[in-house]
Amino acid sequence: MYENIKKQDPLLHEALILEDQRQKDQIRLIPSENYTSKAVLEASGSILTNKYSEGYPGKRYYEGQEHIDTIETLACQRACELFKVDHANVQPYSGSPANLAAYFALLEPGDTVMGLSLSEGGHLTHGYKLNFSAKFFNSVSYQVDPKTETIDYDQIKALALKHKPKLIIAGYTAYPRQIDFKIFREIADLVGAYLLADISHINALVISGDHPDPAPYADVITTTTHKALRGPRGGLIMCKKEHKKAIDKAIMPGLQGGPHNHITLAKAIAFQEALEPDFKSYANQIAKNAKALSLRLLEKDFALVTGGTDTHLMILNSQKSHKLGGKDFAKALYKAGLVCNYNTVPFDPNPPMNPSGIRIGTPAITTLGMQEQDMNFIAEIIDLVAKNPNNLELLEKTRLEVLDFMQGFQSFFAK
Positions marked active-site: 52, 54, 198, 224, 227, 233
* Cα→Cα distances 310→210, 214, 389, Å: 9, 16, 29
User: CA-to-CA distance for 62 and 107, rounded, in angstroms?
Assistant: 31
Query: Where would I find the H helices in 118-180?
Result: 132-135, 153-163
Contact present, 73 and 90 (Cβ < 8 Å): no
267: exposed, middle or buried (Cβ count in 10 Å: 0-12, 13-18, 19+): buried
Q: Which residues contact 335 (CB under 8 A, 6 or more apart)?
A: 392, 395, 396, 399
Q: 253 preceded by cis ω (within 30°)?
A: yes
Of 312, 11, 5, nearest in space to 172 by CA = 312
Q: Which residues contact 270 (CB under 8 A, 6 or more apart)?
A: 36, 37, 40, 225, 229, 230, 231, 232
Contact present, 66 and 263 (Cβ < 8 Å): no
User: CA-to-CA distance for 344 and 197, rounded, in angstroms?
Assistant: 22
CA-CA-CA-CA torsion sign (148, 149, 154, 158): positive
Residue 41 burial (CB count, 10 A): 14
Residue 298, Cα to own-chain centre: how many angstroms? 24
DSSP H/E element including 327: helix 326-335
Of 270, 273, 268, 276, nearest in space to 67 by CA = 268
User: CA-to-CA distance for 378 and 338, rounded, in angstroms?
Assistant: 9
Residue 259 burial (CB count, 10 A): 26
**What single letter denotes the amino acid at residue 190?**
L
